[in-house]
Structure 1
Amino acid sequence: MADAEPAPPAPPPELYSSAAGEAALRQLYVSTLIDLSFPEERLVPTSFGTGSVVVCGPSDAPPLVVWHGTAAPAPDMLLEVPQLVERFRVYAPDIPCQAGSRSDPALLDPATHAYGRWAAEVVLGLGLLRGTRPPVHVGVSLGALVLLDLAVVKPEAICGAALLSPGMGLEPVTGQKRRMPWQLALGFALYRWLPCAPAAWLALAPMCDEPRRAPPVLDNVKLAIRHCSYFPDAPGPFTDEQLRCLAGVPVLVEAPEHDVFGSAQAAVERARAVWPDCEAVLVRGAKHMPGGRGMRETNERMIKALERTTMATKRAANRRRSLLSYLALAWGIGGFLLSVFSLLVCALNVHRPAGAAGLALLLGSVLLPLHPTPPRWAARFLARSVAELRAYFPINVIYEDEAAFASNKPGSPTPGPFVVGYEPHSVLPLGMCVFSPHARDTPPSLSRSVIAATSTLFLAPGMRHMCYWLGCRSASRQVLQQSLAEGSTVVLCPGGVAECFEMDPRQGHEVAFLRSRTGFVRLAMQAGAPIVPAFAFGQTAHYSWWRPFIDWPKQLVPRGAMGSFVRRIGYVPMLAWGILGSALPRQVPMTIAVGRPIPVPHTANPSKAEVQATLDAYIAALQGIFERHKAAAGHAHDTLTVL
C-alpha cells in the first residue's frame, strides 16, 4: 500500500495556450458525448476537486471502469469500443489536466501516488465498492498507468484489469527521468508551427497505425497538440512489489509491437514474470494506437477477457452465498410473520402447558427494555444482513453531493443532522437499509441515522429488539425530535400508510403522497435540519400485491370509507408476494438517488407559509432527481405522480 497521504497539490498552471483552443476542445467533447446512448455525467467530490464521470450502459449490467489515454477523454474511449457500452455498466472518469477533461484541474504528482489516490476517491464516490464485488477496470495508455497506480493505493477496488498499450508503465525501473520520444517531440513542434494535414500526419504517424483515421479520437489529439501548454507527467515507474498488488486478479496485457512509448517485448516479459497467470499478448505489427485488424483483434480479446472475469467473479460470489447468507437476508421479511404466527399458535393453545409457556415467553420478551447498543453477535449479524440485502438486488446509491454529508478535512465537524425524505414507500421500503448504522461506505452523517418505522413493529416479540438494534425507531414526533436533538439523522418515508393506499399497480407508475404531508417538514424546521430528498428506483417491482376492497372487489366498500379505516388502524391490509409467491422479494436492481440537502430555517414555530414553501421545494427536488436519474437507473419510461 502507499505511504501516508500528503496534502492536496497546489492549483496547476493553465493547461490551454488559448481560450479559442480550450473552446474547440470543449465543443468536440460535447459533440462526442451526444453520440453516446443515454450518457449521464456524474460529479464526484474528491480532495483534489470534483471529478467528472461519464456513465452509460444498462444499469443491471456488471460495472466496468474505463481509464482513458492522454488527450483522449472519456467519450472518445467509449465510442472507440461500443461493445463495452452494450455489455457493461460503464463508468469513464475524466483524468484531471487532460485535454478536454471536465474534471477540476489538478496537477497530480506521480511520486506521491496522487493519480492512484484520486482514482480511489472517484471509485469510492461512485459507490462501486458498496456491494460484494468490486468492478473490473480497463486502462488505455495513460489510463493503464492510472490503473496500476490505483492498484498500489487500493487493490481491493479491482477484481480484474485490462491494460492496453501500457507503454512505459511495465518497463523496468531505471531511475532516469522520462522524456517524450524524439519522433513525437519533433512532429508535435512542427504541427504547432504549421498546422496543416502533412504536419499532422508527421506528428501522428510514429504512434498511430492510421494517422488519417476519422474523428473523434485523433481530432482531439491534434487539438491537444496545438492548444495544450504541457502534458502532465504520467504515473510510475512501478517496482515489482508494487505491480504485485494486482496479483490474484485476472490481468490482460495487450502491448503493440511498435509502441513508440516503450518496449512491448519488455512489457510482455515483465507482465508474465510479475503476474504468472496473466494473459500477456504482443500485438504484432501494431503501433501505440492500433488500427484496422489490430484494433479489432485487441478489442475482441479485451471483451472476452472482461466477460470471463465478470462471470468468474459472479460464480465465486454465488458459491460464497451460504445458507447463513439467505437467513441473514430473509429474517427481516419473514421474522415479523413468524413472530405473529407464533403468537397466534400459542394463544390458540394456551390451555396446554406448552402453549401457555410459549405465550408467556413471547409476551415477556415484549416487556424487556430496549438498549440502543446491540450485543456483539447481533451487530455482526445485522451488518451481514444489510450487506446481503444490498448485494441481493443489488442496490446502487448515487449521491449528487456526497461532500455535503462528510467533511473532507480531518478534525472538522461532521455536518448534520438531516431529515431524509425517502420515496416511495412501496410494499416494503427495503432500500432504507443503506442508511442503517450497520451499512458500509455510507457518509458519516447519514450512517449515524435512525429509521422511522410504524409502532406496530415494536409489538412483535423478538423482532422489536432486532429492529431497534438495526436503527429503527417509532415514527412518533417525540421520538424523532429527540433523535434529531441527539445529533442523529432521521430517515423517514413522508408518504407512509397513505402512500400504500394510493399505490398504482401498473408497472412503471410511481406514486408519492406528499401534498398534504407537512409533519416531516415542520419536524425538520424545528430542529434546523436540512431535508434530503431520496428516491429508490426499482423498489416497487420487488412485490406484487392485492389490497382487499381497494384493488378488488372495489364496489363493496366505498374508497373514502376504506381510507378512513386504513388511517384508523395505521396500516393497509394487503396480501403481498415476491419470488414464487413467497415473502422473498424479486431480484430487481435498485438505484437510490440521494439529492442535495435543502436548507431550512431554524424556527420553533414555523408559519404555514414557511412550511408550505419548504414542502414545495422538497417536492420539486424529488421530481428533479427522479427525472435526472431514471434513464441511468434503467427506468427511462417511468412516471412519478405526486398526490
Structure 2
Amino acid sequence: MKVEFAPLNIPLARRLQTTAVFQWVFSFLLLAQCCIGIFICLVLARVWLLLALYVLWLYLDWETPQAGGRRWEWVRNWPVWKYFKDYFPIRLVKTCDLDPQHNYIMGFHPHGVLVAGAFGNFCTNYTGFKELFPGLTPYLHILPFWFRCPFFREYIMSVGLVSASKKSVNHVLSKEDGGNVSIIVTGGAEESLDAHPGSLTLNILKRKGFIKVALKRGAHLVPVFSFGENELFQQVSNPKGSLLRCVQERLQRIMGLAMPLFHARGIFQYSFGLMPYRMPIHTVVGRPIPVKETSHPTQEEIESLHQQYLGALQELFEEHKKRYGIPEHESLIFI
C-alpha cells in the first residue's frame, strides 16, 4: 500500500484542528482505561488519604450522572472544541423554532462510529446551539458504564454528558417550566456496527423506550439527522451473518459496548490510522412532534407515536438529502 504523507506546509490552523480531533479520539478510546490505570497506581503506591477522599467523593456523588450531571461551561468553551468543530467541519442546522416552555427528546440518527456530530453540537458551545435554540439546555445521554470509571466520569460530566438510564432521562425531562432537551442516540451502540460510508440503515423499529418516556413526561419529540456521520471512517466488512458480525453482536450483548473495527487516516499521513476523515457533518434538527402527557400510555398509543416519529424522521431526511449529497433514489432503511 502506498502511503500518502501530509505536506509540510500545512497551515497552523489545520494542524491545531488535527491535534484537537486526536485528543478527542484518544479520550473516546483510551482515556477511561488511563484513568483506571492511574487509580490502580494510586492503590499500589498506597496513597491512602487521597484514595479515601476520592472513594468518599464517589460514594456521595454516585447518583449525579443520573441527576442532570455537573456541566462546566468553562470546559464546554475550551478553544480546543472550536478546532474540533472546524476539522470536519460540523454544522448545526435549524429548521424551526423550539418553544423553551416545553421539554424535548431529540432522537439523534445515525450513531456513526464515534458519534462526532452529537458531541460537537451538544457537548461544546461552538456550533451555536444556545443561539439557535435560546432557553434550551441540551443533555447528551451515553451508556451508564462510562460513569463508573474513576476520574473519567468527572471529565465527561463537565461537557454535559449524562447517563442513558431511564432514571436519568426522567430527571432531565422533569423540569416543570420546560427548557431541557434529552438527546438520545436511539440506535445505540448496536447501530455503530452498520456505520459504513453510504449506509442509511437505522436500528429503530424495536427502539420504543424513548417514545414511552416522551408520553409519560409530555416531552415533545424532535427527529435529528446528522448527514455525514457515517462517512468519517471505513469499517471492516461485517455483513449480517458473518463470523465477525456474530462475534461483535455477542460482545455487544455481554458488555453493552459495540466493537466496530474501523480505520481512516493518520496524523501525518492520509492512508491509514484511527483519525476520522475530514468530511462535513450537517446535523439537521427537525420539527417537533407535540406529545400530550399520558401517565399510563397504552401499547397502541406507543405504537402510534412511534410510527408518527418514523414518518417525521423519514420526511426530514427526504427534505434535506439532496442538499447534502445523498442521491435521489436513496432512502432510510429501518430495521
Superposition TM-score tier, normalisation by shorter sequence: 0.7 to 0.9
Instruction: Mark the structure with the bigger radius of gyration.
Output: 1
- The counterpart of 2:72, out of the listed 366, 369, 374, is 374
3-state SS of paired residue (1:526): helix
- The counterpart of 1:391, out of the listed 86, 89, 94, is 86
Residue 393 of structure 1 deviates from its aligned partner by 0.9
Name 2:300's counterpart in structure 1: 609
Q: Which has the higher contact order (CA 8 A, sep 6+)?
A: 2
Residues 362 and 461, structure 1, Cα contact 8 Å, conserved in 2:
no
Provide, for residues 322-378 of structure 1, a one-character-per-residue CA deviation record: whole Å limited to 9, x for no partner.
64x55443333212433344357669xx7xx788239987997675546624274x3
| TM-score under structure 2 length normalisation | 0.78
Residues 497 and 567, structure 1, Cα contact 8 Å, conserved in 2:
no
Residue 555 of structure 1 deviates from its aligned partner by 4.1
1:469 and 1:354 map into 2 onto residues whose CA distance is 23
2:46 and 2:241 map into 1 onto residues whose CA distance is 38
- The counterpart of 1:544, out of the listed 223, 234, 238, is 234
3-state SS of paired residue (1:334): helix
Change (3 A) 1:333 1:320: closer
**1:593 to 2:268 alignment:** no
Provide, for residues 616-643 of structure 1, a one-character-per-residue CA deviation record: whole Å limited to 9, x for no partner.
1111111111111111011225442111
Unaligned runs of 5+ in 1: 1-316, 407-413
Change (3 A) 1:511 1:359: farther
3-state SS of paired residue (1:632): helix
1:603 and 1:584 map into 2 onto residues whose CA distance is 45
Residues 108 and 183, structure 2, Cα contact 8 Å, conserved in 1:
yes
1:456 and 1:359 map into 2 onto residues whose CA distance is 26
Residue 464 of structure 1 deviates from its aligned partner by 1.8
1:358 and 1:430 map into 2 onto residues whose CA distance is 38
Residues 527 and 602, structure 1, Cα contact 8 Å, conserved in 2:
yes
**1:514 to 2:221 alignment:** no
Q: Bigger CA drift: 436-445 or 361-370?
A: 361-370
1:641 and 1:524 map into 2 onto residues whose CA distance is 24
**1:485 to 2:174 alignment:** yes
Residues 418 and 529, structure 1, Cα contact 8 Å, conserved in 2:
yes
**1:441 to 2:128 alignment:** yes
**1:356 to 2:44 alignment:** yes
Name 1:249's counterpart in structure 2: none
3-state SS of paired residue (2:77): helix
2:52 and 2:20 map into 1 onto residues whose CA distance is 25
Task: Report 1:151-166 matches (<5 A).
Answer: none
The amino acid across from 1:431 in the alignment is G
Residues 534 and 595, structure 1, Cα contact 8 Å, conserved in 2:
yes
Name 1:496's counterpart in structure 2: 188
Name 1:452's counterpart in structure 2: 141
Residue 583 of structure 1 deviates from its aligned partner by 3.0
1:434 and 1:373 map into 2 onto residues whose CA distance is 15
3-state SS of paired residue (1:591): strand
Residues 418 and 531, structure 1, Cα contact 8 Å, conserved in 2:
yes
1:344 and 1:599 map into 2 onto residues whose CA distance is 43
3-state SS of paired residue (1:620): helix
2:294 and 2:29 map into 1 onto residues whose CA distance is 42
Unaligned runs of 5+ in 2: 1-9, 267-271
Name 1:43's counterpart in structure 2: none
**1:469 to 2:158 alignment:** yes
The amino acid across from 1:554 in the alignment is S
Name 1:339's counterpart in structure 2: 31
Residue 544 of structure 1 deviates from its aligned partner by 2.0
Residues 42 and 51, structure 2, Cα contact 8 Å, conserved in 1:
no
Provide, for residues 398-448 of structure 1, a one-character-per-residue CA deviation record: whole Å limited to 9, x for no partner.
2221x2x25xxxxxxx33211001100111211113133634522335851
3-state SS of paired residue (2:235): strand
2:189 and 2:46 map into 1 onto residues whose CA distance is 32
Change (3 A) 1:359 1:574: farther
Residue 471 of structure 1 deviates from its aligned partner by 1.0
Change (3 A) 1:387 1:498: same
1:454 and 1:617 map into 2 onto residues whose CA distance is 26
Change (3 A) 1:577 1:355: farther
Percent identity, aligned pairs only, is 24
The amino acid across from 1:436 in the alignment is C
Change (3 A) 1:521 1:556: closer
Name 1:431's counterpart in structure 2: 117
1:346 and 1:435 map into 2 onto residues whose CA distance is 29
Residues 435 and 446, structure 1, Cα contact 8 Å, conserved in 2:
no
Provide, for residues 469-515 of structure 1, a one-character-per-residue CA deviation record: whole Å limited to 9, x for no partner.
111101000011001112421001111123224x164x422111111
Provide, for residues 505-556 of structure 1, a one-character-per-residue CA deviation record: whole Å limited to 9, x for no partner.
4x42211111111100011111111100011111111112248xx5599348
